[in-house]
């Protein structure tokens, strides 16, 4: 598991976005696994900037997002549909037919079909991940079985508290989501995980010291993946050996 340290979040995000840009340039029909949240906003700013400044073909891409809140419409400004549309898809001209989410209230289907859709397109070529303070990836909370697939999940109090900043009131934060499973994530050919700032320092330090996976820290399964890179800023990096 490779860990790359950069002076700033901006520099780290640019490095990560360049990896995705080169993947799309090399393979225009790539299947991208995408993530949302505060950590990713600069990443999408950098990637959309690169695509618009040095145009590449995005019309053959397929994207699969990690998760979506349960019982929230895609038009809700706090939905991950809205996040992706605003921060990335509309900026580079990716059509909605190319994008996939594990849940859409307006068109509900069995969440496990998401894994089949991914497999039908040959699997995810490169997966973007963030990490929660408790080690969650996607919305796979601590003690999620490593063999889990896409499904409805209950959000932990830690995750609800962390996401409350995106809502006017903590009581508005959905208590459930639909998330790719850990086994779904692990099928990706390459994984890029971003973590920045003081809030993510402790979990990255803990993860860097682990030698075997533990379901209590979902991200620890990444120790067994053959092509993972964790990208951090100096705030975290100065504490790593």
pLDDT digits (tens, 9 = 90+) for 175-217: 998 999 999 999 999 999 999 999 999 999 999 999 999 999 9
The closest alpha carbon to 99, from 55, 66, 57, belongs to 66
Catalytic residue, from 65, 115, 125, 136: name it: 136
Q: For 24-68, how does the pLDDT look when each residue is reduced to its tens digit (9 = 90+)?
A: 999 999 999 999 998 999 999 999 999 999 999 999 999 999 999
Q: What is the DSSP string of 188-211?
A: SS-EEEEE-SHHHHHHHHHHHH-S
Share of the chain above pLDDT 70, in %: 98
136 included as an active-site residue: yes
141 included as an active-site residue: yes
Residue 222: half-sphere exposure toward Cβ, Cα within 13 Å: 30
This model's pTM is above 0.85: yes
53 included as an active-site residue: no
67 included as an active-site residue: yes
Catalytic residue, from 62, 67, 115, 163: name it: 67
Catalytic residue, from 45, 134, 225, 229: name it: 134
Catalytic residue, from 68, 115, 125, 141: name it: 141
pLDDT band at 106 (very low <50, low <70, confident <90, very high): low
Q: For 109-119, how does the pLDDT look when each residue is reduced to its tens digit (9 = 90+)?
A: 788 899 999 99
Domains of the chain (ranges; CATH) run: 2-237 (3.40.50.1360)
């Amino acid at each position: 598991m490779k860990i790359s340290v950069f002076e700033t979040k901006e520099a780290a995000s640019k490095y990560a976005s360049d990896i995705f840009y080169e993947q799309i340039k090399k393979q225009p029909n790539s299947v991208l696994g995408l993530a949302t949240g505060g950590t990713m906003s600069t990443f999408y700013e950098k990637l959309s900037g690169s695509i618009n400044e040095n145009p590449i073909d995005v019309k053959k891409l397929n994207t699969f997002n990690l998760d979506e809140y349960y019982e929230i419409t895609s038009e809700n400004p706090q939905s991950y549909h809205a996040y992706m549309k605003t921060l990335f898809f509309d900026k580079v001209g990716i059509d909605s037919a190319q994008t996939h989410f594990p849940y859409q209230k307006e068109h509900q289907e069995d969440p496990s079909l998401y894994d089949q859709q991914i497999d039908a397109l040959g699997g995810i070529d490169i997966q973007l991940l963030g990490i929660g303070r408790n080690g969650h990836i996607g919305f796979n909370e601590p003690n999620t079985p490593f063999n889990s697939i896409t499904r409805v999940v209950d959000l932990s109090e830690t995750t609800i508290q962390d996401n409350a900043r995106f809502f006017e009131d903590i009581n508005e934060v959905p208590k459930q989501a639909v998330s790719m499973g850990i086994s779904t994530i692990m099928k990706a050919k390459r994984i890029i995980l971003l973590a920045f700032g003081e809030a993510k320092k402790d979990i990255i330090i803990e993860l860097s010291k682990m030698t075997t996976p533990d379901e209590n820290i979902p991200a620890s399964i990444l120790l067994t993946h053959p092509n993972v890179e964790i990208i951090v800023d100096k705030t975290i990096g100065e504490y790593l050996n």
